[in-house]
Structure 1
Amino acid sequence: MSKIGVHSFVWSAGSSRSDLEKALESTHRLGYKLIEFSYLDPEQVDVKWLSGRLGELGLDVAISMGLPPEGDISSEDASVVANGVDILDRAVALVRDLGGTKLAGILSSAHGKQEHSLTRKAWDTSVSALSKVADRAKAAGVTLNLEIVNRFESNMLNTAAQGLAYIRDTGASNVLLHLDTFHMNIEEADVGLAIRHAADKIGYVHIGESHRGYLGTGTIDFAAIFDALVAIGWDDYVTFESFSTTIVDRDLSLKTAIWRNLWDDNVALAHHANRFIELGLETARRKSELVCQAHLPV
């Protein structure tokens, strides 16, 4: 069986105990093995309770986030960089306290459309700051997974190759790539080749359709993506992410331009996604076997 996760925004954008419980129960009931939460404020959420419920349901957890403008670690303002480092350190602590190992998302710069080109100074400032966070994250058993997003959500890391260069500059073994098919479909010359090229530095994978809705109903070549994941021996989580105006987190919905209602029934959506990913990966494995086995006469 594949390791398949789901983003909590499929269920709810709320962080009350009842909202979290609904997300946890739905994730478990539909057979997902991991739930991803966008950053939860430990002052607003009972982290001990949530960690306990994750354990009771046998669910792994990942936390994703995007740095705000006032926490941009590529900023020329040292106080803004320091604030970003503090935000990242607190996120690492949250992952650790929930029993997880993955912090993902836009961790290298502010999340959102920028009005200027990236400078070498901004790159170096970001690398230096994240390297320090990575040292502390490693001690906590947490990986930092840099999401490679499209040009409208970052001016720093838009391709897997850029992410690999950034990782090399950090020199940190626990800084990895967070690849997302929605973004790759926009920016990569060839998504399958990009996955193969980045193979040993991938830490987390998001599966999302070109319009953010039901998998297989957009323009993404998922067969090529599943083939590539099987080819590199990917055995970690593949997490389904989808957004609709049915469930709105004001901040993220604005930044990711969620204007259309692509689904109403989140249970049907999530059930379909789990089957789609499972079958896609199984099909890719069977194709690989046919290609690699000679089937000689006996």
Structure 2
Amino acid sequence: MDQPFEQQSRRKFLKQSSGIYAGLTLGAGTLAEAMSSYNSGAKFSLPLGVYASYEKAEMLKSYGCSYIEESVGGFLIPKDGDLKYAKNLQQLQEEKFPIRSYVILLPGDLKTLGPDANHEAILQRTDLALKRAKECGSKYIVFGSGASRVIPEGFDRDKAKAQHIELSKKMAPLADKHGVTIALEPLNRGETNFINSLAEGVEIIDAVNSPSFQLLCDIYHMLKEDEPADQIVKFGKHIVHCHIAEKQNRTPPGVAGDDFRPYLSALKKIKYKGGLSIECFVYQDFDSQSKKGIEVLQKQISEV
């Protein structure tokens, strides 16, 4: 669960920040309030969000979202450079609608393993992303980046795993330094051939052994891998963030009619109190489908 910021942390942030950065303390406070607002009632509920451009923030807030989920390359390290990031930051200050987390930490050409592994460049990018995530009052950066961790054909799997763990052990102190948690995301085998289940993700997390390096549970990828809901219960102590989408075409809830209640029940069983983000990349109509997706999730959550 995201804990409210302590008063000492607020004072420290204000002292260290100026101008636009100081203005974001309100956004950070809003994030803490949004993340904990569901706790006021006895029924199980979760803060819901959608992966989207921050341009959609006002609309998603009107749909009942508690936050938005952005991408590292779209918001924190945009291709147009520092000026674009400054504009993104300004928009966040004005909207005051929290960004909980960021996906797509690494582009596909930055390899975590294999003969072309480039750990130095990855650590530089990760450090900058974490620094800016903190400036934005955000709590998580998702470490999925499936194309970056594909084990090349003929490359030793144990060596690849060792490379990935070595990198992750260097990333964790950066996350700790900035107060932002890295959430490792298992992906289905259609996207990568390494870390395809919660169990495999926890192997890496146990090897890293840092509270700043934890697990993301993506129900879409679990469905694609036929991974049962009880795995959420088994590894629940590591789960800090969740994604969701329908199995067949990665559509938002309510398009194909997928029943997520077994997985939502598992989250309830572990007393999960983090966020649940609809993460889809293709919509026929974003506005209507994202709205329906939130409504469907709210209904299914209320039924577990």
Structure 2 counterpart of 1:31, from 58, 64, 83: 64
Supply the distance in 1 between the matched residues of 2:108 and 2:153 (Cα, whole angstroms). 12
Supply the distance in 2 between the matched residues of 1:115 and 1:152 (Cα, whole angstroms). 15
Superposed CA deviations along residues 190-229 of structure 1, whole A, max 9, x for unmatched, are 1x11111110101110011111124144474401011111
Structure 2 counterpart of 1:208, from 242, 245, 253: 245
Q: Does 1:133 align with 2:153?
A: no
Gaps of 5+ in 2: 1-37, 39-45
Superposed CA deviations along residues 260-293 of structure 1, whole A, max 9, x for unmatched, are xxx4321111111111111211211xxxxxxxxx
Q: Is the 8 A contact 1:39 1:91 kept in 2?
A: yes
Q: Does 1:73 align with 2:112?
A: yes
**How far off is 1:28 after superposition?**
2.1
Structure 1 counterpart of 2:291, from 271, 277, 280: 271
| Aligned ranges 1:105-120 → 2 under 5 Å | 105-106=143-144, 110=148, 115-116=153-154, 119-120=157-158
Structure 2 counterpart of 1:199, from 229, 233, 236: 236
**How far off is 1:189 after superposition?**
3.5
Supply the distance in 1 between the matched residues of 2:217 and 2:83 (Cα, whole angstroms). 28
Q: Report SS of the residue matched to 1:68.
A: coil
Amino acid at match of 2:115: E
Supply the distance in 1 between the matched residues of 2:154 and 2:221 (Cα, whole angstroms). 20
Supply the distance in 1 between the matched residues of 2:84 and 2:255 (Cα, whole angstroms). 38
Supply the distance in 2 between the matched residues of 1:132 and 1:109 (Cα, whole angstroms). 20
**How far off is 1:47 after superposition?**
3.3
Q: Is the 8 A contact 1:70 1:84 kept in 2?
A: no
Supply the distance in 1 between the matched residues of 2:150 and 2:112 (Cα, whole angstroms). 14
| Aligned ranges 1:1-298 → 2 under 5 Å | 1=38, 2-8=46-52, 20=54, 22-40=55-73, 41-42=77-78, 43=81, 46-61=84-99, 62-77=101-116, 80-106=118-144, 110=148, 115-116=153-154, 119-190=157-228, 192-210=229-247, 211-218=249-256, 220-244=258-282, 263-284=283-304
Distance 1:117 1:179, change over 3 A: farther
Residue number in structure 2 paired with 1:258? none
Q: Is the 8 A contact 1:114 1:153 kept in 2?
A: no
Amino acid at match of 2:72: Y
Superposed CA deviations along residues 229-259 of structure 1, whole A, max 9, x for unmatched, are 1111111100011222xxxxxxxxxxxxxxx
Supply the distance in 2 between the matched residues of 1:155 and 1:283 (Cα, whole angstroms). 35
Supply the distance in 2 between the matched residues of 1:188 and 1:114 (Cα, whole angstroms). 25
Supply the distance in 2 between the matched residues of 1:29 and 1:240 (Cα, whole angstroms). 16
Report percent identity of matched pairs: 23
Supply the distance in 2 between the matched residues of 1:32 and 1:128 (Cα, whole angstroms). 37
The count of corresponding residues between Structure 1 and Structure 2 is 253
Supply the distance in 1 between the matched residues of 2:51 and 2:164 (Cα, whole angstroms). 27
Gaps of 5+ in 1: 13-19, 245-262, 285-298
Residue number in structure 2 paired with 1:288? none
**How far off is 1:171 after superposition?**
1.4
**How far off is 1:26 after superposition?**
2.0
Amino acid at match of 2:106: L
Distance 1:265 1:86, change over 3 A: same
Residue number in structure 2 paired with 1:254? none
Superposed CA deviations along residues 101-131 of structure 1, whole A, max 9, x for unmatched, are 1000315871568545662112112111111
Q: Is the 8 A contact 2:149 2:194 kept in 1?
A: no
Q: Is the 8 A contact 1:207 1:239 kept in 2?
A: yes
TM-score by length of structure 1 reads 0.77
